[in-house]
Structure 1
Amino acid sequence: MLTADGKPVVLGALLGRGGQGEVHAVTSHPGMVCKTYFPATMVKDPSLARRLAAMIATRPPERRDRAGHLLVSWPEHLVMDGAVVAGYLMPQVDRADTVELHRVTNPSDRRAAGGWASRFSWRYLVRTAGNLALATQVLHRGGTVIGDFNLKNILVSSRALITLIDCDSMQITDPATGERFFCPVGMAEFQPPELKGADLSRTVRHPSSDHYALAIHLYQLLMEGEHPFRGVWNGVGDKPDVPVLARDGMWAGRAGGLLRPRPAAIGAELLPPDIREMFRRAFEDGAADPGRRPTADEWHSALVRLEGRLRQCAAKTEHWYDGRQPDCPWCAHENRRPAQVPLPPAAPTMIIPPPAAPPFPPLSFVVPAPPQRRRRSRAAVLAVIAVAGLGIVFGGRALAGSGSGNSSATGGPLGAYTQQSGSGADSGTTTGSSDPKAEAVALRKLLAGSKADRKSILRAIPDARSCGDPSGDAQTFRTAQSHRSTLRDQVSSLDLSALDGGPQMKSELTDAFTASAEADGHYADWADGLSGSCSRSSADDSGDYAAAFSSSQTADKHKKAFVTLWNPICQDNGWPAITDLDI
């Protein structure tokens, strides 16, 4: 394989495999990885080659800051296999020093992650928020709309730096031809209300839709993982779904609103008035007029100002807060929390103090690069694409690559092709392979990532029942609910038609993840209800707990039906059989 300008591309270890293709290390281009598409992917989307060419011709000039940090992992070079567009080269991301965004927004995830993530103070979260706003601003300045702006496409480093990944689905416009390439995918939780029900493969997105998702990410960063549209419902009937609340501008911080913050949530007084007003504009004014949502540039400026005013608490050095406040709101929050009544441990436990933490790395604000004029020398690229258009139809063949999808043997970082919930980087895409082996491998990858959520939930349920940390457990359930919803959407988009019993397997697994997500939501509401005053009787007598148990039973039924169909395929491929407990 060659780059579009004729330089050899030598693939190394297989780093990941998803619904669209594979990612390999590249020995010929240090600091790069190569994403190659399955031929069926290129056939299914004839515009993909033109999209990639347009992306490479319009690379954001500020995708790296002056210090060299990668803000956006953008396609850098087309890769050709003969006359066929095979994929592209993109910068490798240091996965050893980065985590997905939710690993730092959610306090329970920070504790579970350990290491530097467990020591992320509010100072670091404010810095992370500012850098996320800047990365968004860089893309908008270049005319790109992120579209699928979900928490798994945002990586955070130990220095509070941000890298945006999975860029090949973003909405761009080719300045040479005027052709617009839409973003056809998106996680429902981060889609603005004006796009509900829209055909994303044909819908023009505007930066204001990214401003909605950005506001949610910033709210969760600044408010300890709280979601603006989750809380205690004081209205008539059941609490509406998030899309309905977002449509009505009914967020947890609305004055006189029917949705109130959870009792255990940090108070809005943590935020300075200008930041609170910006959230109000994002979720109230923006519901009626998306153009009134704060822009990424506005958020960045406000967060830089806030970071400059931060003060360290004299009583607890891990607390940071706006220096214009007379007292530490974190201390006040801890003092306000109602005492909980945990059950005594079953047996005496020896507590071993942890070792002293290593020095925390220095904070970094991304240093914006000065605007540069783009070079749009496109003649060679367009000539290659013209030939490739024929090659895609007539010359496509399977690309090299087999393996487990793990990191390279040297333990190097995975690179910019993120595996989402174990299924690969491309949520919302289909295999489209008509190849039983490829379809089975894609489904097996997805299943492998589903087990982690089950483990976290099985830890959180007894912890909440024993009144350990119901607030943290609620966040664990919310995270799992989001992951399972993503898994459900990914299963729905898989093509399993070449597998024996494939359509039935797809239906059973989709129903299983749907019921599991419902159970997670009920468990989260149950844990929220325990946050104020917890006892074993209140934990066991909750209607939310009963509803969660019922949904879990429904999920187990569908999982068992799926396993019955799946295990013969495992046997045919020489893979170990699974049980419903492995999903």
Structure 2
Amino acid sequence: MQYMGNSGNIYNVVDKRIAHGGEGDIKEIIGMPSQVAKIFKEKFRTAERQEKLSVMIKKKLSPEQLEMIAWPQDVIYDSTGFVGYIMPKIENKKSLTILYSEKKYDLQDRLLAATNLCAAIDMVHEMGSICGDLNPQNICVNLDKNDSTNEFKISLVDVDSYHYETPEKTYRCEVGLPEYIAPEMQKKLAQGYSIIDAPLPTYTRETDLFALAVHIFCLLMEGCHPFACAKDFGEEQEYNIGRMTSENIPSVVAPQ
């Protein structure tokens, strides 16, 4: 399939997907091995999303930043209109949740991953952006111990959902995973708001740091959430820990 970019570039995208999620598919681009296309399902091809991505691509990242943050590079269209965007291809990466519970990785491995996660989120903040939804499915780690340069290096993906602000407008991160949402946001959700309509501010640098602390705790405590054992919930406690180590828990608009 052929798509036209905002830049004027033509992208020949293969039909077969290499990954997929709730919003769309990731596909390779012929002749561009270092980049991929994210093609949204029709219901997610909204004018608001198109506008947000068109603003995001104006921020140019360095090659070092692009290795850690899969930042949108171009917005693409077919004959019907907006369909998705172009982003860097992330190689040899698995979800951070593997380190939560996999016994073959020792404390030093987990500490290195935690340090690299801190560096990646700090880089996002230095850019003036906010992650928002830090679902571990959006945090990829290089587990190739033969790759000494990039071993346990972190890459952040699905950054089109980030909470992104300009002087003119705030483009909200509209979803979240309850285990990583800070108390100040939980209070707003408890009042009946969703993340989409809650009074601003919603996601901030501080809420990112709360989620970061949860991830680090889980890395060091084999997938246990810092609040999971605050009270004995019996079987429910096991369910909570199971959720933390799962790779298939989707972020939602109104997490509870």
C-alpha spacing 1:484/1:162, structure 2 compared with 1 (3 Å):
closer
Deviation, structure 1 residue 150:
1.6
Q: How far, CA to CA, are the matches of 1:485 and 1:7 in structure 2?
A: 34
Q: 1:153, 1:226 → 2: CA distance?
A: 19
Distance 1:16-1:123 versus aligned 2 partners, 3 A rule? closer
Kept in 2, the 8 Å contact 1:63–1:138? The answer is no
| Candidates 8, 11, 23, aligned match of 1:9 | 11
Normalized against structure 1, the TM-score is what? 0.37
The one-letter code sitting in structure 2 at the alignment partner of 1:190 is Y
Which among 201, 221, 224 is matched to residue 196 of structure 2? 201
Q: Report what 1:104 is aligned to.
A: 99
- Residue type at the aligned position of 1:195: M
Query: Does the 8 Å CA contact 1:72/1:164 hold for their aligned counterparts?
Result: yes
2:31 equivalent to 1:28: yes
Shift of 1:5: 2.3
Shift of 1:224: 3.4
What do you get for the CA RMSD once the two structures are aligned? 3.0
TM-aligned CA distance change 1:191 to 1:220, over 3 Å: same
Matched position secondary structure for 2:215:
helix
* 1:70 CA displacement: 1.1
- Equivalent-residue separation in structure 2 for 1:484 and 1:34 (angstroms): 22
* Pairs within 5 Å for 1:452-463: none
Take 2:240 and 2:207, find their aligned partners in 1: how far apart are those partners?
27
Find 1:170's aligned residue among 139, 142, 162. Answer: 162
State the Cα distance separating 1:225 from its structure 2 match.
Answer: 3.0
Is 1:161 aligned to 2:153, yes or no? yes
Which letter maps to 2:83? A
The CA distance in 2 between the partners of 1:123 and 1:483, in whole Å, is 22
Q: Percent identity?
A: 23
The whole-number CA distance in structure 1 between the counterparts of 2:204 and 2:248 is: 25
Higher percent of residues as helix: 1
Distance between the aligned counterparts of 2:137 and 2:112, measured in 1? 19
Out of 81, 88, 93, which is 2:90 matched to? 93
Distance 1:480 1:149, change over 3 A: closer
Q: Which amino acid in the other structure matches residue 185 of structure 2?
A: L
In the TM superposition, residue 93 of structure 1 has moved relative to its aligned partner by 1.1
Once the 2 structures are TM-superposed, how far is the Cα of residue 123 of structure 1 from its aligned partner?
A: 1.5
Distance 1:226 1:480, change over 3 A: closer
- Which consecutive residues of structure 1, in runs of 5 or more, have no partner in the other structure? 112-117, 243-473, 494-583
Other-structure match for 1:183: 173
Query: CA shift at 1:211, angstroms?
Result: 0.7
Instruction: State the SS of the aligned residue for 1:131.
Output: helix
Deviations 1:462-511 (A, max 9, x none): xxxxxxxxxxxx5x972247749936x77x99xxxxxxxxxxxxxxxxxx
Other structure's SS at 1:134 match:
helix
CA displacement at 1:199 relative to structure 2: 2.5
Amino acid corresponding to residue 127 of structure 2 in structure 1: G
Residue identity in the other structure for 1:185: V
Compared with structure 1, are the counterparts of its residues 62 and 190 closer, same or farther at alpha carbon in structure 2 (3 Å cutoff)? farther
Which amino acid in structure 2 is aligned with residue 200 of structure 1?
A: I
Give 1:134's aligned amino acid: A
- In 2, the alpha carbon distance for the partners of 1:230 and 1:150 equals 17
Q: Across the two proteins, how many residue pairs are aligned to each other?
A: 236
CA distance in 2, matches of 1:162, 1:481: 18
| 1:211 matches 2:213 | no
Change (3 A) 1:34 1:485: closer
- Separation in 1, partners of 2:93, 2:248: 24
Paired residue type of 2:241: R
Structure 1 equivalent of residue 146 of structure 2: none
Look up the match of 2:129: 144
Alignment CA distance shift 1:100-1:485 (3 Å): closer
Change (3 A) 1:221 1:484: closer
- Residue 58 of structure 1 aligns with an amino acid whose one-letter code is K
Contact 1:145 1:171 in 2 (8 A): yes
Which residue of structure 2 lines up, in the alignment, with residue 222 of structure 1?
Answer: 220
d(CA) in 2 for partners of 1:133, 1:88: 27
Correspondence for 2:78 among 77, 81, 87:
81
Question: Which amino acid letter does the alignment assign opposite residue 36 of structure 1?
Answer: I
The one-letter code matched in structure 2 to 1:216 is V
Instruction: Please say if residues 11 and 28 of structure 1, whose CA atoms lie closer than 8 Å, have aligned partners that are also in contact.
Output: no
* SS of the residue 2:224 aligns to: coil
Q: Structure 2: 5+ residue runs without aligned partners? A: 144-150
- Report which of the two structures shows the higher radius of gyration computed on alpha carbons: 1
Which has the larger strand fraction?
2
- Report what 2:147 is aligned to: none
Report the alpha carbon displacement of residue 124 of structure 1 after superposing the two structures with TM: 1.7
Report whether the alignment pairs 1:486 with 2:254. no
Q: How does 1:248-327 map to 2 (within 5 A)?
A: none
- Aligned residue in 2 for 1:334: none
Partners of 1:180 and 1:144 lie apart in 2 by 11
Report matched runs for 1:432-471 at 5 Å. none
